[in-house]
Amino acid sequence: MLAVETENRRFTITTLSLEFPDVSRSVVDKIATEDISFKKLYSRWVPRLFTAEHKRKRFVSSLDFLIRYEEEGLSRIITRDETWISHTTPESKQQSMEWRHTSSSVKVKVKQTLSKSKIMATEF
């Protein structure tokens, strides 16, 4: 059973019990959760995976911004937020859950790129 679980970590107890018809669903659940110590865990979402160069550029531009507006203070700066609203919904966090061993590391999942069909929403 461990070989089946490590092959496809997005299995469900129901589909796993179908692969072992001689074993009841409750026994399959007990083996997966208690004996093998697997838990159904979410991947940790991160907006992007920044490289060292991306981080350096963000730091330099932020420092330049603070130096430029240090005299006037930050009270005269207007900020806005933009977000893309997609017409299709990427895989949800619930859908991306996987069974993992309690000692395995946390999986990091980059947020999926939105589809080409989208609109921009801007807020001030």
**pLDDT tens digit at each of 124 positions of the chain:** 555 555 666 777 888 888 888 988 889 888 888 888 777 776 666 666 778 888 898 899 888 888 888 777 767 777 777 777 777 666 676 777 777 777 777 777 666 665 667 776 677 6
pLDDT at residue 83, as a whole number: 75
Distances from the Cα of 121 to the Cα of 3, 34, 68, 86, angstroms: 47, 47, 28, 11
Radius of gyration of the chain (CA): 23
Given the DSSP bridges, would you call strands 44-46 and 108-110 parallel, antiparallel or unpaired? parallel
Q: What is the pTM for the complete model shown? A: 0.35
Q: Which helix (H) or strand (E) holds 92?
A: none
Dihedral class, residue 13 (left if φ above 0, else alpha if ψ from -120 to 50, else beta): alpha
Distances from the Cα of 50 to the Cα of 54, 90, 96, angstroms: 6, 21, 22
Q: What are phi and psi of 4, to 5 degrees?
A: -65, -40
Closest CA to 37 of 79, 70, 1, 88: 1
Instruction: Report whether 99 contacts 11 (CB < 8 A).
Output: yes
Tokens describing residue 82? 């933009």
Residue 90: what residue type?
P
